[in-house]
């Protein structure tokens, strides 16, 4: 059939199973927007800023495991996507971004809204394309989705000149296997690698599993649990690994790293074997790499060969699909017990429980930790939460245990403020039957709060939690600890968030005391469409534990026990 380039884009999206795209129109992408009218099967969500489109596509992808799609025009429309693309790249989120470009004949002439978006996004995409020939477009569309979703997932950008979108050709959908020279993601482990890893597991007395985002991306949650239970190996989770194994499981110790559980960090430092699964030894997880788990052997399994021995040298490195490699390994994993090691970890956990702020008396104060803890109780711990970046993000990680994969979404690697609200909207489109809560701070929320209009226009049932401490809380915390309490550029004026929500015709409520939290959850659940709840919390709350940047992982600043002092 004879189709224009823009119709080919839509036809290929339909055949890739795309049901929703997030975008903002403009001159260079207008032919594709016109073609959308012929494809009602694909819903278009009109964002208020292209960064929101990228985060929505990212949230959709993280919640579903499918490829999210964002679309924008040339120039500023395309560059506004870049922060969201970089966010997806750092966290290995599968996404395809489609941008319009000026006509081929004017490329390089500084035409109106011209920008070299393929050049700009080389460092933050898995791959990108400038479509120079409409006949190549069907193959490029197929390749883009294949690259985005296979191996280590990531964002792919397709830049399409306006005249290519208008040009017509006889369209034949390219069938058959996609073969790309030099692109062969690893899948299984060799016999030698398996043998070496199993030998280390058999000989370990103090083993620990480090479970990362790759567990969920490969669908290896069941294999992780089987490995942990069979060999009685405690599990420490990365921030993006939360939900890889139920956090109420007796072998799950908690989250590791800068604001992780003390028991996890002490355990890592004293382990004699670390089994790193689908994680990349990020600096926020390791602290000082020179003193990181100094007496342990290390096994690292990851789909990306470049991650192995990149930050931490390991004894056995296996590049492969995590689920496949664990399936190979499990039949030979011995049944073991490590009672002394488990008991040691339990002692650390009990000490942490004594320091837990939610059990302390805080007369007259509402703490962010209390809000998240009580939200967890009120939702039965079964909600899909999407966190922005800052203190509230770490409090969510600490006080909202997750029992299922893909139910805690946040910007980990890039730490993108403004991610929370749009990503929650995207997640709700991907998982309409999930109860979705966006957990944001007063700072990050104001970066993308224009997407309240998107949520209202689309009638998306997202419950928005704003923890308002009138500060850029995490930066203020660093200033308190390391900059002699010079709070420069961190006190923050905000609008009246309840009135702001009213301006968008969104139901809203302000909470100032802990006894209102349960009522606020009922309020949010009682309304269709988006709801906003502002929790006015203690201004100078501290997130403990905290490993200072570059410090040893065990050198944590810890919350004092009652009677020990203020810090």
Residue ranges per domain, the chain? Answer: 2-170, 191-349, 358-536
Distance of alpha carbon 45 from the chain centroid: 21
Residue of 435, 425, 500, 420 whose CA lies nearest to 458: 425
Whether the Cβ atoms of residue 409 and residue 63 lie closer than 8 Å to each other: yes
Is 434 catalytic? The answer is: no
CB atoms under 10 Å from CB of 318, counted, come to 24
The per-residue pLDDT for 565 is 63
CATH of domain 191-349: 3.40.50.1220
Helix axes 191-203, 322-329, angle to 10 degrees: 70
Structure tokens at 321: 């699909």
Reply yes or no: is the peptide bond before residue 172 cis, omega within 30 of 0.
no
Is 167 catalytic? The answer is: no
Residue of 89, 24, 99 whose CA lies nearest to 58: 89
Mapped onto helix, strand or coil, the DSSP state of residue 501 is helix
Instruction: Determine how β-strand 408-410 pairs with β-strand 68-72.
Output: unpaired
Which position among 7, 11, 16, 50 bears the catalytic label?
50
Give me the numbers of helices (H) and strands (E) for the chain, helices first please. 23, 20
Q: What CA–CA distance (Å, rounded) separates 164 from 152?
A: 30
Q: What CA–CA distance (Å, rounded) separates 255 from 316?
A: 24
Q: What CA–CA distance (Å, rounded) separates 468 from 488?
A: 18
CB atoms under 10 Å from CB of 36, counted, come to 20
In 256-304, beta strands by DSSP E: 273-277, 297-302
Which position among 16, 141, 145, 162 bears the catalytic label?
162
Is 112 catalytic? The answer is: yes
Whether the Cβ atoms of residue 279 and residue 304 lie closer than 8 Å to each other: no
| Burial of 361 (C-beta count, 10 Å sphere; 0-12/13-18/19+) | exposed
Residue of 486, 456, 501, 481 whose CA lies nearest to 47: 456
Q: How many degrees, rounded to 5, is the angle at CA 184 between CA 329 and CA 138?
A: 135
CB atoms under 10 Å from CB of 255, counted, come to 23
DSSP conformation letters of 397-465: HHH----STT-EEE--SS--TT-HHHHHHHHHHH-TTS-EEEEEEHHHHHHHGGGHHHHHHTT--EEEE
Which position among 113, 349, 457, 516 bears the catalytic label?
113
In 102-153, beta strands by DSSP E: 127-130
Q: Superfamily for 358-536?
A: Thiamin diphosphate (ThDP)-binding fold, Pyr/PP domains (3.40.50.970)
Residue of 474, 471, 465 whose CA lies nearest to 535: 465
Q: What CA–CA distance (Å, rounded) separates 232 from 340?
A: 12
Whether the Cβ atoms of residue 164 and residue 200 lie closer than 8 Å to each other: no
Is 50 catalytic? The answer is: yes
The per-residue pLDDT for 567 is 47
Is 11 catalytic? The answer is: no
Q: What CA–CA distance (Å, rounded) separates 322 from 328?
A: 10
* CATH entry 3.40.50.970 includes domain 2-170: yes
* C-alpha dihedral sign at 415, 402, 216, 141: negative
Which position among 255, 447, 474, 546 bears the catalytic label?
474
Q: What CA–CA distance (Å, rounded) separates 464 from 387?
A: 10
Residue of 157, 139, 160 whose CA lies nearest to 148: 157
Reply yes or no: is the peptide bond before residue 28 cis, omega within 30 of 0.
no
Structure tokens at 357: 């702020």
Structure tokens at 79: 């560059």
Which position among 38, 112, 136, 199 bears the catalytic label?
112
Q: What is the pTM of this model?
A: 0.97
Distance of alpha carbon 254 from the chain centroid: 18
Please list the ranges in the chain whose pLDDT falls under 70: 360-362, 565-567
């Amino acid at each position: 059939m004879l189709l224009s380039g823009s119709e080919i884009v839509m036809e290929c999206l339909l055949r890739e199973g795309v049901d929703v795209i997030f975008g903002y129109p403009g001159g260079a992408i207008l032919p594709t927007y016109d073609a959308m009218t012929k494809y009602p099967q694909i819903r278009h969500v009109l964002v208020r800023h292209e960064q929101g489109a990228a985060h929505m596509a990212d949230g959709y992808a993280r919640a579903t495991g499918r490829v999210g799609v964002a679309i924008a025009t040339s120039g500023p429309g395309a560059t506004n996507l870049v922060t969201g693309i970089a966010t997806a790249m750092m966290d290995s989120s599968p996404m395809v971004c489609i941008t319009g470009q000026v006509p081929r004949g004017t490329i390089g002439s500084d035409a109106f809204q011209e920008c070299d978006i393929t050049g700009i996004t080389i460092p933050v995409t898995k791959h990108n394309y400038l479509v120079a020939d409409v006949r190549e477009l069907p193959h490029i569309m197929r390749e883009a989705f294949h690259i985005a979703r296979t191996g280590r997932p990531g964002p792919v950008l397709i830049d399409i000149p306006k005249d290519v979108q208008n040009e017509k050709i006889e369209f034949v959908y390219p069938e058959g296997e996609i073969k790309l020279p030099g692109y062969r993601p690893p899948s299984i482990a060799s016999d030698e690698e398996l043998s070496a890893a199993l030998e280390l597991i058999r000989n370990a007395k103090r083993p620990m599993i480090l479970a990362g985002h790759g567990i969920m991306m490969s669908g290896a949650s069941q294999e992780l649990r089987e490995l942990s239970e069979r060999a009685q190996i405690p599990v420490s989770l990365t921030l993006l690994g939360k939900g890889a194994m139920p956090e109420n499981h007796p072998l799950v110790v908690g989250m590791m790293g800068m604001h992780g559980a003390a028991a996890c960090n002490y355990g890592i430092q004293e382990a004699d074997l670390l089994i790193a699964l689908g994680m990349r030894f990020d600096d926020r997880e390791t602290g000082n790499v020179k003193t990181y788990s100094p007496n342990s052997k290390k096994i690292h399994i990851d789909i990306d060969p470049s991650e192995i021995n990149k930050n931490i040298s390991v004894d056995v490195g296996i590049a492969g699909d995590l689920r496949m490699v664990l399936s190979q390994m499990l039949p030979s994993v011995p049944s073991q017990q490590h009672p002394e090691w488990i008991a040691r970890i339990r002692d650390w956990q009990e000490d942490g429980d004594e320091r837990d702020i939610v059990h302390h008396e805080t007369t007259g104060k509402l703490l962010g930790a209390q809000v998240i803890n009580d939200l967890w109780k009120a939702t039965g711990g079964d909600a899909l939460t999407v966190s922005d970046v800052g203190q509230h993000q770490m409090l969510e990680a600490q006080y909202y245990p997750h029992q299922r994969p893909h139910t805690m979404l946040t910007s980990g690697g890039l730490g993108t403020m403004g991610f929370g609200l749009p990503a929650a909207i995207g997640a709700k489109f991907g998982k309409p039957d999930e109860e979705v809560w966006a957990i944001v701070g007063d700072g990050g929320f104001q970066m993308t709060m224009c997407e309240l209009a998107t949520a209202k226009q689309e009638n998306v049932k997202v419950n928005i939690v704003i923890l308002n401490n009138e500060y850029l809380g995490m930066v203020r915390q660093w200033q308190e600890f390391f900059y002699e309490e010079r709070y420069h550029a961190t006190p923050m004026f905000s609008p009246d968030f309840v009135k702001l929500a009213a301006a968008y015709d969104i139901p809203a409520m302000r909470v100032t005391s802990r006894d209102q939290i349960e009522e606020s959850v009922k309020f949010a659940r009682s309304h269709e469409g988006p709801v906003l709840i502002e929790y006015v919390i203690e201004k100078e709350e501290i997130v403990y534990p905290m490993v200072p940047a570059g410090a040893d992982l065990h050198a944590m600043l810890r919350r004092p026990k009652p009677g020990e002092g203020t810090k």
